[in-house]
């Protein structure tokens, strides 16, 4: 899981750097969007040419696990499944909440914060660097934490996520102070504070 997350977030970091460079060099339209379109074409092409259908494996696994998970029920409607996973079954509900919080973090980091940074006068290239720092730090952290969690089951606490969010909030506050003060020379420290949860 750690390698998967590290690879995914690393790719997002590189993409943020590349699109920031393209936007700074050629404008906000259309270069970054053409880069995204190239990703879509590459993904579709690789899926069509190199990825094998796994439906048979999924059906086989579902059939072998149906008896063990009989309390979850085998024939539920989509509405019943949504209710079960979101509210009634504790483990599934916790996983859904953790996923929602993680996606909310990503949405803020990649959707809202770049707008805030632009409003405070940062250049497009600087915004690209800040947008890349978040997934780069997160991905690098997955290499270590993924290994630790594989060998230390008692370390798997949601409180770690909560404290990480609190530290990141403190770092973001420090970063915004630097930005609002107009000290653009300290933008690197601001980005590091935002991502690592340490004051710049």
| 29 within some domain | yes
| 43 within some domain | yes
Report the C-alpha gap between 194 and 127 in whole angstroms. 13
Length of the chain counted residue by residue: 200
pLDDT-based confidence at 76, cuts 50/70/90?
confident
114: containing domain = 2-156
E strands, 82-170, are none
In the chain, the number of structural domains is 1
| 198 within some domain | no
* Share above pLDDT 90 across residues of the chain, in percent, rounded to a whole number: 24
Provide the Cα torsion 149, 143, 13, 157; round to 10°: 20
| 173 within some domain | no
Report the C-alpha gap between 102 and 65 in whole angstroms. 28
| 179 within some domain | no
Report the C-alpha gap between 180 and 174 in whole angstroms. 10
Please report the pLDDT score of residue 41 as a whole number.
96
pTM: 0.62
Please report the pLDDT score of residue 46 as a whole number.
93
Q: Distances from the Cα of 2 to the Cαs of 7, 87, 121, in angstroms? A: 8, 28, 36
pLDDT at 26 over 90: yes
| 187 within some domain | no
| 9 within some domain | yes
- What is the average per-residue pLDDT within 79-90? 88
Report the C-alpha gap between 127 and 118 in whole angstroms. 7
| 128 within some domain | yes
- Per-chain mean pLDDT for the chain: 76
């Amino acid at each position: 899981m750690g390698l998967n997350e590290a690879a995914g977030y690393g790719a997002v970091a590189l993409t943020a750097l590349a699109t920031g460079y393209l936007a700074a060099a050629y404008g906000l339209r259309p270069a970054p969007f053409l880069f995204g379109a190239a990703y879509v074409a590459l993904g579709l092409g690789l899926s069509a040419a190199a990825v094998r259908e796994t439906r048979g494996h999924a059906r086989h696994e579902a059939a072998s696990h149906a008896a063990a998970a009989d309390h979850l029920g085998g024939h539920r409607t989509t509405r019943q499944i949504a209710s079960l996973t979101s509210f009634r079954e504790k483990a599934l509900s916790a996983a859904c909440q953790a996923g929602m919080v993680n996606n909310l973090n990503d949405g803020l980091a990649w959707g809202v914060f770049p707008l805030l940074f632009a409003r405070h006068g940062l250049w497009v290239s600087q915004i690209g660097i800040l947008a890349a720092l978040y997934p780069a730090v997160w991905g690098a952290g997955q290499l270590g934490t993924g290994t630790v969690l594989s060998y230390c089951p008692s370390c798997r606490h949601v409180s770690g996520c909560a404290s990480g969010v609190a530290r990141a909030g403190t770092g973001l506050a420090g970063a915004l102070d630097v930005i609002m003060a107009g000290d653009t020379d300290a933008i690197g420290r601001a980005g590091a504070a935002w991502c690592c949860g340490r004051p710049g």
